[in-house]
Amino acid sequence: MARGVFLHREDSRYDDLPTERYQFPQQYLSRAAQFVGDWIIYYEPRRGPTGKGYYAIARVEGIVPDPSVPGMHVALIEPASYLPLERPVPFSGAHGVVERGVLNDAGRISGRAQAAVRPISIEDFNRILNLGMPEQEPLLPRAGLPTEPDLGKGLREEPAPFAFEDVERERVAVYTSRIVRDRIFRRKVLEVYDSRCAITGLKFINGGGRAEVEAAHIKPVEHHGPDDIRNGLALSGTVHWMFDRGLISLSDDLDVLVSRQVNDIESVWKLVNESRRAAVPRNPAQRPHPNYLGWHRQHCFKW
């Protein structure tokens, strides 16, 4: 196994959905096959208005031939493994290029940087991860800890050599814990929705400066819904409760749907903003994805 980089653009001509699949040509097959069972990081060049740099990680579950396009293959993303970075990381910063594996012996950017599918060292992977998730505590032990007391011969163990490789590989497990995922998901969703409920249109900030809206998964985590803003909605507490119980939903056109099983439909409609459509981000790439909305209507909404 090895870690890798998948280049992806919002306007990609390939049949990609980063939370679920990544399509690539035959020339990259042997390279991509190394990543099965391990993590990749998504990269979008920062040329143009939408370029994000390194912006998310995901785990590759397997690779299959694309049945609809000869000569193409699809990397299948492990369900719910996709995780956006708290902040996108540019290709280079104050200390130079962050993915140092693309540099040649002279320290210049080589042709490897142009490859849409390429391996990345664990050191480079974690450097990007640390820059993209700056609030995490370091995993390495603090320096200057007190030494162990002398407990007598026969009771002490010789310290094992510190396994940097193992620590580097385990680092991603900390960043992808449910606690960290929930924090990142909430921050991302509230940011793109300006802390405003998509259904009521209301924006409440409490005395401590914390937004009262919640980040709701459209397709729930327990059903392998990804922690992606396109699988998210900013909802007030009451609306979130109704959404999770299938009492309200959204059409693909973002019209609000209210279940006929609601015992006080008129009161529910009073909660909905006057347009009766969800207020979503202006950027189409940040709006709810029809795949997740369709899942909610089919498996959760009480028609």
Residue-by-residue DSSP string for 193-222: TTT--TTT----B-TTS-B--EEEESS-GG
Q: What pLDDT, on the 0 to 100 scale, is given for residue 289?
A: 96
- Domain shared by 202 and 84, yes or no: no
- Domain shared by 194 and 284, yes or no: yes
Query: What secondary structure, in 3-state letters, does 91-137 show?
Result: CEECCEECCHHHECCCCCECHHHHCCEEEECHHHHHHHHHHHCCCCC
- Domain shared by 102 and 186, yes or no: no
User: Which regions in the chain score pLDDT beneath 70?
Assistant: 47-51, 135-171
The residue among 114, 169, 124 whose CA lies nearest residue 1 is 169
Q: What pLDDT, on the 0 to 100 scale, is given for residue 166?
A: 56
- Domain shared by 117 and 192, yes or no: no
Q: What pLDDT, on the 0 to 100 scale, is given for residue 168?
A: 58
Q: Out of 116, 132, 148, pick the residue that ends a domain.
A: 132
Range of the domain at 252: 178-299
- Which CATH number is 89's domain given? 3.10.590
| 71: in domain | yes
| 161: in domain | no
| CA torsion angle 237 18 86 185 (round to 10) | 10
- Domain shared by 114 and 196, yes or no: no
| 159: in domain | no
Residues contacting 115, CB < 8 A, separation 6+: 7, 28, 31
55 torsion bin: left (phi>0), alpha (psi -120 to 50), beta (else): alpha
Q: Out of 99, 132, 165, pick the residue that ends a domain.
A: 132
- Domain shared by 207 and 120, yes or no: no
- Domain shared by 120 and 7, yes or no: yes
| 158: in domain | no
Query: CA angle 30-32-33, nearest 5°?
Result: 65
- Domain shared by 231 and 120, yes or no: no
- Domain shared by 39 and 127, yes or no: yes
Residue whose structure tokens are 């327990």? 222
Residue whose structure tokens are 């995901």? 58
What CA–CA distance (Å, rounded) separates 194 from 185?
14
| 218: in domain | yes
| 14: in domain | yes
- Domain shared by 119 and 212, yes or no: no
| 273: in domain | yes
- Domain shared by 116 and 200, yes or no: no
| 238: in domain | yes
**Secondary structure letter of residue 231 according to DSSP:** G
Q: How many domains does the chain have?
A: 2
